[in-house]
Chain A
Amino acid sequence: MHIMEGFLPIEWCIFWYVLSAPVVVWGFLQIRKLFAEHPEQKMILAVSGAFIFVLSSLKLPSVTGSSSHPTGTGASTILYGVATTSVLSVIVLIFQALLLAHGGITTLGANTFSMGITGPFIAWLAYKGMYRAKLGLVPTVFVVAFISDIATYIMTAFQLALAYPTAGSVLTSFTTFFGIFAVTQIPLAVVEGVLFVMFFDYLSRTRPDLLKGKLHFKTKTSDEEGTAVEA
């Protein structure tokens, strides 16, 4: 769920734009460097961005009876890192605002900060910690996808609480907003975690080359049939 057009007062719209801008610019500089050194990466990155956008159109059943969709930023963080994810998120959020009437242009800064920066950054910290601890693919991917989702919604609730505090108290307002989000978002984060575990599990079997050096998983090669190999 993104903050919709018209939901944030103008001063908060500007504030979140200003706060998001440096990270997005940094992400853009990373992408520019990547394109200069490896021009062939342009297509792969574009297709990955399209993949995130298409993934967000995959409806998932939610326990509350409604349907929701994965954000895809957890997977993108593992594959491309925080900076690149922030730029891809901006583009995907613009498409969502224009083509799906989901989110908005005045709230783009706030949505970028929650979905493209906070979620991926916290997920990246968890990912680095778990990768160094040499934890396997299943726990790492589940935690990263779950945390990225939850961190996004915590930040969204915080952004709304800052804009609409209850009798001056941001904390009280935050509890109300997050309490309401939690009904659908905690089950959704679990579902996204499970979905991405399945996704990376299939990916590790079909295209292990794409995950080399990014996750610890066991794979079977044709010449070492039956032997587990650490990739």
Chain B
Amino acid sequence: MQSIDELAYSSPFKDWSPLGKFTLALSLLVSSLVASSIVIPLVAFCIGFVLLFISTRFRFPKVIVFALLEGMIIFLIGSVVIALVTEGDPLWTYDIGPWELTFSNQGVHLGTMVFLRAVAGATVMLFFATSTPVPQFAQSLRQVRIPNELVELTVLIYRYSFLLLEQLNTMYIAADSRLGFRTYKRKYRTTAKIAVGVFTRSIDMAERSQVALEVRSFRGEFRSYHPPVKISTKWIALSLIVFLSLYTFNLAIVDPAPLIQLLKM
């Protein structure tokens, strides 16, 4: 989590409009979801991958590799289950003890499609995450009239998460050095103790923060000194062009006849 945050702050795309990047990412995700050809998720994956690669300054940190690999395992299990539950013309049948697993043609196609959509989605989201610090994204939400209370709650939760994680790590190391995770029973007991420790400290921290803010004349609203760049019409146009191009490309692959007719008119 901390590594992705560090990457976001050092990304060459950091100063681009957060909402602009979000709209572009969303257009890639939606294009991939509405497509019926597996080529479109592949194209979305390639675009996402290139953007992610540039965003991480042409290196592939371990955190990204682990996030993608962990995601792939989950995607694979999910896609196999979707392939199994989809009925159709039988393609492969496996006997596993009392069960018989049958994969249909349609099921394998749908499973592959879902897997590719998920991989494309993860890559595109990682591009967005590694190029946009969360506080910047939250502040930019004010531009689309998201209420202040929600924006501030998001920024505060984000800030406190790092403080709590630091405390959690300290407690974890302290417990580990006292053999607190030696047996299963101890593991659960120590985890519960750490959770309570973090919770009670977090309540104390909240109370102290409130006092600190009040003595600095806090009026119930946090203002950003450098507000993030606003979304421009260029970003909206780019996102629309990307979506329409991929949509048309999908139509051309799946059923080119209506498209050819339209072009002839």
Contacts and interface: CB of A to CB of B under 8 A. Distances in A.
B192 interface: yes
A13 B71 CA distance: 20
A101 B68 contact: yes
Contact of A176 (B84, B188, B220): B84
Contacts of A5: 29, 117-118, 121-122, 124-125
A104 B33 contact: no
**Which of under 10, 10 to 19, 20 to 34, or 35 or more describes the interface residues of B?**
35 or more
Nearest to B161: A50
Contacts of A167: 87
A156 B227 CA distance: 38
Nearest to B181: A61
A44 B87 contact: no
Given A61-B187, A167-B87, A198-B188, A6 B41 contact: yes
**Which of under 10, 10 to 19, 20 to 34, or 35 or more describes the interface residues of A?**
35 or more
A104 B84 CA distance: 23
A80 interface: no
Interface centre among B1, B25, B205 (most CB of A within 10 A): B1
A58 B220 contact: no
A221 interface: no
Contacts of A196: 192
A40 B207 CA distance: 8
Contacts of B9: none
A4 interface: yes
Contact of A58 (B149, B154, B191, B207): B191
B191 A54 contact: no
Contacts of B198: 51, 54-55
Interface stretch (A110-118, A122-130, A200-208, A222-230): A200-208
Nearest to B219: A39
B42 interface: no
A165 B209 CA distance: 51
Given A46-B206, A51-B199, A202 B161 contact: no
B120 interface: yes
Contact of A43 (B5, B32, B149, B206): B206
B149 A198 contact: no
B158 interface: yes
Interface of B: 1, 4-5, 25-26, 29-30, 32-34, 41, 67-68, 70-71, 74-75, 77-78, 81-82, 84-87, 110, 114, 116-122, 124-126, 128-129, 134, 137, 147, 149-150, 152-154, 156-161, 163-165, 168, 184, 187-189, 191-196, 198-200, 202-203, 205-207, 209-210, 213, 220
18 contacts: A6-B75, A6-B120, A7-B78, A7-B118, A10-B30, A31-B150, A42-B156, A42-B210, A43-B156, A44-B207, A47-B203, A88-B157, A172-B85, A177-B85, A191-B188, A195-B191, A196-B192, A201-B192
